[in-house]
Amino acid sequence: MKIGLVIKELRIKKGLTQEELAAKTELSARTIQRIENGEVDPRAYSLQMIAKALDVDFSLFVEDASKIEKEKKSKNDIILGLVHLSGLFLVLIPTILIWNNKKNDVENITEHFKDVISFQLTAWILFLLAFIQYYLVKMPYMFYAGVIFTVFFSIVNTINVINNKPYKYFNLINIKNKKDRAK
């Protein structure tokens, strides 16, 4: 159950209005309303004030907050996995769309985005070389190797990201800013 719903239930059981709870906690009624509606994640200090005003143990909120944080982390790992899985298609659009929609919600998504885009551009270069090689020599081996390379790295890295393990791509093109390269 979300923290806001727990707070709302406890407030109603105590027979308090949002305004009365706000007065007891030194928070605004609008803040209480936003917490109860799940629009904001309350800070620890706010939760302590609310717990004190509702005569409940603060750990009730902390346990609930840790569950929510675990759920959020799991959801973020899946989104990062989708970014890596989009590397399979070698079309930059899905990767860009996922990044653009989630760049403000998912931690480290820009780093993953840059790695996948670099990988996709590298794969494009390899496919171009394979096409030239096929055109000159009429042997498609390099093309098949490129497909296997792309599929293998995309799937392995997707699995690693979802399981919170490090991932690694082979990139000819490295899209990093100066700050990232210094690390």
CATH number, residue 11:
1.10.260.40
Same domain, 104 and 149: yes
Same domain, 136 and 77: yes
Cα separation, 11 vs 5, in Å, equals: 10
For residue 17, give the DSSP letter. -
Same domain, 46 and 119: no
Same domain, 83 and 40: no
Nearest to 26 by CA among 56, 46, 43: 46
Report helix, strand or coil for 26.
coil
Q: Which two tokens stand for residue 41?
A: 């994640």
Cα separation, 132 vs 160, in Å, equals: 33
pLDDT at 125: 85
Backbone dihedral region for residue 38 (phi beyond 0: left; psi -120 to 50: alpha; all else: beta): left
The list of the chain residues with pLDDT below 70 reads 1, 63-69, 170-183
Cα separation, 134 vs 126, in Å, equals: 12
Same domain, 141 and 176: yes
Look at residue 65 and tell me if it is in a domain: no
Identity at 21, one-letter amino acid code = L
Query: How many domains are there within the chain?
Result: 2
Look at residue 164 and tell me if it is in a domain: yes
pLDDT at 30: 93
Cα separation, 125 vs 88, in Å, equals: 15
Domain span including residue 136 = 72-182
Cα separation, 9 vs 15, in Å, equals: 10
Look at residue 90 and tell me if it is in a domain: yes
Look at residue 96 and tell me if it is in a domain: yes
Same domain, 122 and 166: yes
